[in-house]
Structures are given as structure tokens and as C-alpha cells.
Amino acid sequence: RYCAPDPEEDFGEGYEGKQVVVENLRQLCVHRVANESGRPWAWWDFAMDYKLRCSMKEKKYSKACAEEVVASLGLPLEKVLACMGDPDADADNAVLSKEQEDQIGRGSRGDVTILPTLVINDVQYRGKLERTAVLKAVCAGFKEGTEPQVCLSHDMETNECLHRNGGCWRDEATNVTACRDTYRGRVCECPVVNGVRYDGDGYTHCKAVGPGRCALNHGGCWSETKGERTFSACSDTALSGCRCPAGFQGDGHKCEDLDECKDKLACTCPDCHCKNTWGSYECGCRGNQVYIRGEDVCVANSMSRFGWLVALLAVSCAAGLGVAGFVFYKYRLRSYMDSEIMAIMSQYMPLDSQNNEHQPLRQHAPDA
């Protein structure tokens, strides 16, 4: 009723086509039991493990080996055997007959069917090769993490990152996650978000590093806003790490306001009175004085009339000296230019005192 080509193409040695039919029947039943148990992916595990442990090509195949692979995957062996029935019985096999019917349909085309075979990465896939099954087989041939986007659609696989973030790290504030869905499962890798790279093991921690890290949740550092003022422990000039800004103290992940007045860090001059503010301080001076923050001193804010008069005279004298200096400079410059011009002209123009302007240009010979 059912047959398959001899695997070695030699009827005198090795395995027989019957053993191929029986193993195909077992794999069909493994697929059915895996689906019924809610673990359809277990069939792929069976196919991979069977190739490694029970390959006919490598002379490793036996009934016991195939059944051991089924048991190792946690699939109920008794259900698989019940599905297979008795391959030696002189009767139709429900599973194989259904496969034949699916292949040739109900008609009189013949009773012998060779199932079509798909080869992907040197691995054979047999059965009803409809497009979804073929695409799944192709996706399974990619190295994990390199599969195309079509393999990650909800019709092809289950996104494991949707359940508890796949057990990977996640930043609740920015919803940045290290979980990356793959066709076979998921991988935990610190991501790159908007050009900012995260560094870490991907499972318990990831932190933003490099330029632009402060734009994403302040690089994971402390930050707080009160009123219209925001302070952050993330610095754009530092490629990593957190440091509390001026006016705060802490480890960068937690910062508290520093009381400059209480700790005598500022506004310490005798005439100063200090008031602490969030992230800074305010310092005033007694009387009519002005506080100079850079020098931490108080200086007088007003002057007497005599002082103003002295200052006015000083300014007037300075202005007068400036004007006089400018006039003197212009006079000396003009005199110097005049003398230079006269010196140049004297080299090319004869002076009146030489009395030679009436001398003829050419001396005539006397008449004979």
C-alpha cells in the first residue's frame, strides 16, 4: 500500500524503503501530538535531534533511537505509538492513507505516491509542501537573528518579547528594551536607539554610552525638575558616568540639594547674609552694598558728592589729555609730511638762488 525508495539504492544492504515509510509515519504522528499538546515547535526540535542522533546516512538509525528522541523532548510516546498503529498489519493505515489522499486526491490516478521533497541547507523536508510550511522551513534555515522580517510576522512565530519582556532588561521610563525577537525565540542584546548605543549584558542591565546619551532619559542618571528649573547628573561632555551638578551632592544616580549657607561654602564675608535655594543660593549685603559673587565680598554701592566731583575731574582730565595728544599727533604728522615732500621736490626742481634758469640749453659756436 505504501512504499519509499531504498535510501542506499541497493536492495542488498543497509536500510530498506519500509524503514523510511515507518519513520515518515512516526514523524507525522510526532507532528500531530506536538500540535495537540500546544507545542507545535517540538516537531522542529525532533527533526533536528533525529538528524544528529539517528541519521540513516550515518548508520545511526534504529526504532529505539527514534523513540528515545521523542521521549527526550517530553512528548508522550504512547500517543505517538497509538497514532502510528501497527505498521506490519495487513490493513490500511489511517495516517498514511490521509497523506496519500491529500497528495493525489480522491480519484483513479494510482495507488503509489512518492512524496515531494524540499531541500533546505542540505536538510530534506517531506509532506504537504504548502506555502506556509515551506516558508517556515526556510525561516528555520537562517542563523538566529539574521532572518528577514517576514519570518517574524505573527502568522509565522510567537513574539516572546511580549511576555515579561522575554526575561531581558528593560527601561520602564523610556520603554527601551534589550529583547529582540527571532524566529527560534529571542535574544537579549543591549540596543542602539536613535544613534545612541547601550552597553551591558542585556539581561540585568544596559546603560547609554557615547555622544547624545543624555537625550535618552538623561543617560540613566538622576534628574529632577522644580518649577521651571531642571537639573541633571548627565553631562554631554562626558561619554559615560553620572555626576551631580554644581549645587548638589550624591553619587549621580541620586542627588540632594547642597546647603551652601549651612556648610559655609559661599556668602561668608562679614557683611553678607545667605539664603539657600534649590541648586544654588542667594547672598545679600548689609546697608547700601553690592555682593560680588566671584570674589565673595560686599562693596559700597554709593559715593559722596566729593567722590563724584573727583571722579568727574579725573574723567575730564583724561578726556582733555586725549584731545591734546590727538592734536599734537596730527601737527607732527603734517610737519613731517611737508618736510618729506620738500626734500623730494628739491632733487628734481632747480632753486632760484642758483640763477641758471636763463642759461641756454645748448652752447653755440662763435661766428668766424
**Band of pLDDT at residue 348, cut at 50, 70 and 90:** low
Place of cell 489511517: 94
The structure's pTM equals: 0.35
Domain annotation covers residue 5: no
**Rounded distance, CA 196 to CA 208, Å?**
7
What would the DSSP string read from start to end of 295-324? Answer: TTEEEE----HHHHHHHHHHHHHHHHHHHH
Residue 123 belongs to a domain: no
Whole-number pLDDT of residue 343: 73
138-151 per-position pLDDT tens digit: 888 888 888 888 88
**Model confidence over 285-327: pLDDT tens digits?**
877 778 777 777 787 765 445 555 655 676 677 777 777 777 7
Q: Are residues 22 and 96 in the same domain?
A: yes
226 shares its domain with 298: no
Grid cell of 143 as nine digits:
542563523
The reported pLDDT for the residue numbered 321 is: 76
C-alpha–C-alpha distance, residues 169 and 207, integer Å = 10
The 10s digit of each residue's pLDDT in 252-292 is: 889 988 888 887 777 888 778 888 888 888 888 877 778 77
Question: Is 67 in contact with 77 (CB distance < 8 Å)?
Answer: yes
Domain CATH number, residue 267: 2.10.25
- Taking residues 329-355, report their average pLDDT: 65
Q: Indicate whether 240 and 299 sit together in one domain.
A: no
With respect to residue 77, please indicate whether it lies within any of the assigned structural domains: yes
Q: Does residue 89 belong to any structural domain of this protein?
A: yes
pLDDT value of residue 83: 93
Partners of 289 in the β-ladder: 300
Burial class, 73, CB count within 10 angstroms (exposed 0-12 / middle 13-18 / buried 19+): middle
- Asked whether residue 22 falls in the same domain as residue 94, the answer is yes
**Are 30 and 43 within 8 A, CB to CB?**
yes
Q: Per the structure, how many domains does the chain have? A: 4
Evaluate whether 285 touches 271 at the Cβ level (below 8 Å).
yes
Q: 247: helix, coil or strand?
A: coil
Does the residue 271 lie in any domain?
yes
Domain for residue 52, yes or no?
A: yes
The more confident residue out of 352 and 327 is 327
Domain co-membership, 43 together with 98 = yes
Q: Cell numbers of 175, please?
A: 520603554
- What whole-number distance in Å separates Cα of residue 228 and Cα of residue 245? 17
Grid cell at residue 47: 527533526
Shared-domain flag, residues 96 and 22 = yes
Q: Which domain holds residue 183?
A: 149-209
The CA R_g of the chain, rounded to the nearest whole Å, is 49
Looking at residue 357, its pLDDT comes to 47
Residue in 30, 32, 64 with CA at minimum distance from that of residue 48: 30
Q: Is 329's pLDDT higher than 50?
A: yes
Q: What is the pLDDT of residues 119-141, one digit of tens each?
A: 788 777 776 677 788 888 888 88
DSSP secondary structure letters along 13-27: SS--HHHHHHHHHHH
Asked whether residue 72 falls in the same domain as residue 35, the answer is yes
H runs (alpha helix) in 231-304: none
Same domain, 204 and 222: no
Q: Does 354 map to a domain?
A: no
Q: Look at residue 237 and tell me if it is in a domain.
A: yes
Give the chain's length: 368
* Grid cell locating 165: 519582556
- Bridge partners (DSSP) of residue 50 are none
Contacts of 136 (CB under 8 A, 6+ apart): 156
146 DSSP 8-state letter:
-
Q: How far is CA 172 from CA 90, 197, 220, in A?
A: 64, 17, 11
Contact 313, 323 (CB under 8 A): no
